[in-house]
Amino acid sequence: MTESTEANADTLRLELHKVLTEIVHDGVGRGGGKDHLVETDAIDEAVTRILTCLGKVESKKPPVVVPKEFICKLSKTIMIEPVIIASGQTFEKKHITKWLKHNTTCPETKAVLSHLCLTPNHSINELITQWCLVNKYDRPDPQPSDEIVIEMFTGDIEPLLHRISSPSSVADQIEAAKELALQTSKFVNVCDFFVKELYDSITRLLTPLSNFGDDVDSNPELQENILTSLLNISTVEKSQKIIAENPLVIPLLTKSLRRGTDQTKTVSAATLTSLSGIDSNKIIIGNSEALKALIDLIGDSDDLSATGEAGYAVLNLCSDESENMEKAISEGLILAVLKKILAGRNVENMVSILTSISTNNQVKEKIEELGIVCDILKILRNTSCLMTGENAIEVLFKMFDGIRDTARLGILQEEELLYKTFTKLARQGSDRAARKAQEILQWMEMFAEKEKCQKMLELAALN
């Protein structure tokens, strides 16, 4: 029956091709008058008849039957992302993930699962792909969606860590590192258990990065997932001291800041920000090469996320830690920050850093030497961010506070004369910014009055 249907379909396709060829090449229907109309009608009827017959024949073709091995037992449809669960059964990833959200048993065997890890079934996926090509079957593409992550049993975390530190293959190592990054991003309990209950877990997690050298550098996906796991774990405050004191952590984060991808640089900087929440950790990090690496990243990188995170890390490390502040300035923080402001890159973040160091005389001198005051005034004039406005005027306030030289105040007076920047800020800015703007306006009035009196005295002396 199938062969007969295919034969009929092929015959009709050939007939249709013949009619269309005559139209194109033989000039059928190109004359005028009644003969032209008759020929055109005949062509239309022939094409319509053939297409109608072809549709009927095609509809009689039996549908392609998908092998039952390729069908998910939950969705009853062909699998798009087949995964294996602990029972050895294969299901569509999306549907088994939803099942495991509420169950700890296999939907097929009903057995209690020993773990909830999902392993891609590459073999069955390849078989399905080949079968679809041969049978011209339209298999849907995976649809992007919010991934549902199931919290692991605590007993599953140790085997997962073992797959990362002592892998059977690079592919399995990457898969395990990715799963740990997902677990630690979603579940605080996993982060807490990882450090508190697993022996030497931080060292074992970082073993691939410390031992494999250039091999890891050539495998950014593995590196990113391991460092993301470390970042997630570092957000648990009671684990931060243990993590920072591990001899592998700070050197590996420093190496990543210098040699990693933009993503690993961003993650490493964020991890240092997290770890610097504890005062003792600020000292550890400040005494390492990490502070210099962060400053270099601010000055040299064009990636906004990486430089932004590096900026936050430096701010945290220097907050209430004067020794780190002095080290940061000596390591080139001033030039790195001013370079970014001049380039108009990550301005809000850079102005925030500048605010924290602008009481330092070296900073004030460098700002004046490079003519950055005009750039800060431009930021203050144009920003729509209240916090940036606060920080910018704070820098100016610290720069000019105590100055009794009207010539040096001239740049502020010119800004006010041209744009009314300080008047506007005094009326419309945040409370803190408005207070600073009002004080600057009072300076201008006071020094203008002083200058006026001085001129009157000079005139009186001449007379």
- What is the per-residue pLDDT across 207-259, written as a single tens digit (0 to 9) for each? 999 875 655 466 899 999 999 999 999 999 999 999 999 999 999 999 999 99
C-alpha angle with apex 382: 381 to 388, nearest 5 degrees? 85
Give the span between the Cα atoms of 349 and 308, in whole angstroms.
Answer: 6
61 against 172, higher pLDDT: 172
| Token pair 């001013």 in the structure block, residue | 338
Give the span between the Cα atoms of 261 and 213, in whole angstroms.
Answer: 15
Q: Is residue 290 within 8 Å of residue 253, measured between CB atoms? A: yes
Residue 344 DSSP code: T
Nearest to 264 by CA among 291, 226, 234, 299: 226
Q: Mention the CATH class of domain 236-370.
A: mainly alpha
Give the span between the Cα atoms of 366 and 376, in whole angstroms.
Answer: 13
Highest mean pLDDT among 84-88, 368-372, 420-424: 420-424
| Token pair 């013949």 in the structure block, residue | 18
Q: What are the backbone angles phi and psi of residue 78, rounded to the nearest 5°?
A: -60, 140
**pLDDT band at residue 358 using 50, 70 and 90 as cut-offs:** confident
User: At residue 27, does pLDDT exceed 70?
Assistant: no
**pLDDT band at residue 156 using 50, 70 and 90 as cut-offs:** confident
What is the pLDDT, as a whole number, of residue 271?
97
Q: 90 forms bridges with which residues in the sheet? A: 84
| Token pair 């294969």 in the structure block, residue | 90
Nearest to 400 by CA among 344, 346, 447: 447
**pLDDT band at residue 44 using 50, 70 and 90 as cut-offs:** low
Nearest to 372 by CA among 343, 410, 333, 413: 343
Residue 346 DSSP code: S
User: At residue 86, does pLDDT exceed 90?
Assistant: no
Nearest to 286 by CA among 259, 310, 318, 254: 318
Is 248 exposed, middle or buried, given 0-12, 13-18 or 19+ CB atoms closer than 10 A? middle
What is the pLDDT, as a whole number, of residue 399?
87
Nearest to 170 by CA among 119, 113, 125, 221: 221
Nearest to 267 by CA among 275, 167, 321: 275
Q: Strand, helix or coil at 119?
A: strand
What is the pLDDT, as a whole number, of residue 333?
95
Give the span between the Cα atoms of 29 and 10, in whole angstroms.
Answer: 26
91 against 155, higher pLDDT: 91
What is the average per-residue pLDDT within 413-431?
93
Contacts made by residues 210-216, CB under 8 angstroms, sequence distance 24+: 210/248, 210/252
pLDDT, averaged across the chain: 85
Domain 68-134 has CATH 3.30.40.10: yes
Q: Strand, helix or coil at 298?
A: helix
Give the span between the Cα atoms of 298 and 312, in whole angstroms.
Answer: 10
36 against 221, higher pLDDT: 221
| Beta carbons within 10 angstroms of residue 114's beta carbon | 14
